[in-house]
Amino acid sequence: MGSYIEFRNVSKIYKTGDVEVRAITDASFQIEKGEICIIVGESGAGKTTLLNILGGMDTLTEGQVFLDGQEVSAFNKKQLAAYRRNDVGFVFQFYNLIPNLTALENVEMAAQLSKRPMDSRKVLAEVGLSERANNFPAQLSGGEQQRVAIARALAKNPKLLLCDEPTGALDYMTGKSVLQLLQDASRKTGMTVVIITHNSALTAMGDRIIRVKSGRIVEERRNDRVIPVAEIEW
């Protein structure tokens, strides 16, 4: 049996007029179910491109991508939309909450779109925000907004949680608590989590580390000495 997630010789070339940008070259790696995977690399290395391909938000130029036995890279537009809706939860650097919906309504809306949602109130409680359920995003701190965004992604009960620089807009301590939340959620639910970051220190919290440089995978390894986020300093 293959791995839960597999990238097989993936390349991505962006074409703008006559100009070609090779964002990813021949990337192959695997991620197992329930793992926290940290994809690390400098700005422009190709991290977001990899995440977008895995999340069905962008297509590849060459190669194949598999998740849980399905070939994502063979999906048509309609299948990709269903895949994004049901199988993938997204957490971005800038939360992307809907401003005129409360915290709870933001979570409920995502849950309603999914095939197998979890109870929105329960998930909001799990991220420590029961008391703020009826607040609008503008009434919440950055860290609280990111918690709502994580609750929104988790409430879909996805197969995979994709996080693009989830602490990029947060201060050190708040960022740490958000990462701790992601680590706890993965451990508690067995959810597979992929986090992309430019911060090498965060590799210590991952079960698997994938390092990207100039569009190529330069390192892929299992980490058998995972450190709780609270103990990581950077």
Interface with ligand ATP by CB under 6 A: which residues?
Answer: 14, 16, 21, 23, 41, 43-49, 198
From the CB of 193, what's the least distance to ligand ATP, in Å?
17
What is the token pair recorded at 17?
Answer: 């007029």
From the CB of 138, what's the least distance to ligand ATP, in Å?
26
12 three-state secondary structure: strand
User: Among residues 49 and 157, whose Cβ is nearest to ligand ATP?
Assistant: 49
From the CB of 100, what's the least distance to ligand ATP, in Å?
29
From the CB of 201, what's the least distance to ligand ATP, in Å?
16
User: Among residues 46 and 175, whose Cβ is nearest to ligand ATP?
Assistant: 46
User: Among residues 41 and 89, whose Cβ is nearest to ligand ATP?
Assistant: 41
Contacts (Cβ under 8 Å, ≥6 apart) of 206: 35, 36, 37, 38, 195, 223, 226
User: Among residues 44 and 142, whose Cβ is nearest to ligand ATP?
Assistant: 44
| Contact by Cβ (8 Å): 133, 104 | yes
Q: What span, in angstroms and rounded, lies between the C-alpha atoms of 197 and 7?
A: 19
Per the DSSP assignment, residues forming a β-bridge with 22 are 13
